[in-house]
Amino acid sequence: MRSTSEQDREFSEYVRRRRTELVRLATLLLSGDPNRAEDAVQVALTRLYVAWPRIRPNTRDAYIRRCVVNATIDDRRSVFRRREQAHAEVPDVPAAELEVADHAGLVTLLDVLPARMRAAVVLRYVEGLDVADTARALGCREGTVRSQSARGLERLRANLTRLEAAHV
């Protein structure tokens, strides 16, 4: 049985290695807002610490990604409840600001996607996870990941094309 100090040391070492990546993931899932992303990561890490003794080392990554995704979804829900903001359409942003290669522009386009579709796209194509790991992080079937990520890419491409056409 591990002692608490040993658990704390393991946890801190794990967080030291993974925190930056987790904040990046949360930021992309939360409209590029670093403050809300930090909050979501803190929530996720607290859940991880509480569950630490029960989680096998080889499943920690999947667990914490899932915690981050869920925390960001919770955050967005609360934001929607408070502010009643919803983006059914692409934000009215000049095409020049939505260059596909532009970081902020791409984050804006990602923000239009439904939450779980956005998570599938980010985990697959930003974080570079395979379908199986993405499915574990999202708690869904691999087939769902494939369809969600494919549709997400198509919508990103279509929205970009539409915006470019509108500003020619």
Query: Structure tokens of 97?
Result: 């600001």
Q: Indicate the residue among 3 and 85 with the shorter CB distance to other proteins.
A: 3
Could you say which of 28, 98, 117, 163 contacts other proteins (CB under 8 A)? 28
Give the number of C-alpha atoms closer than 13 A to the C-alpha of residue 147, restricted to the C-beta side.
Answer: 5
132 makes contact with other proteins (CB under 8 A) = no
Which residues, other chains included, contact 135 with Cβ-Cβ below 8 Å and sequence gap of 6+?
A: 141, 142, 144, 145
Contact 107, 31 (CB under 8 A): yes
Question: Site for other proteins (CB under 8 A): how many residues?
Answer: 43
Instruction: Examine residue 151 and tell whether it contacts other proteins (CB under 8 A).
Output: no
| In the complex, minimum distance from the CB of residue 28 to other proteins, in angstroms, rounded to a whole number | 7
Residue 83 as a binder of other proteins (CB under 8 A): the answer is no
Q: Does 156 bind other proteins (CB under 8 A)?
A: yes
Q: Can you tell me the distance from the alpha carbon of 115 to that of 72, in angstroms, rounded to the nearest whole number?
A: 9
Among 121, 129, 135, 137, binds other proteins (CB under 8 A): 121
Query: Strand, coil or helix: what is 86?
Result: coil
Query: How many residues in the chain?
Result: 168
* Site residues for other proteins per CB under 8 A: 1, 4, 7-8, 11-12, 15-16, 19-20, 23-24, 27-28, 32, 34, 42, 45-54, 100-101, 103, 106-107, 121-122, 125-128, 153-154, 156-157, 160
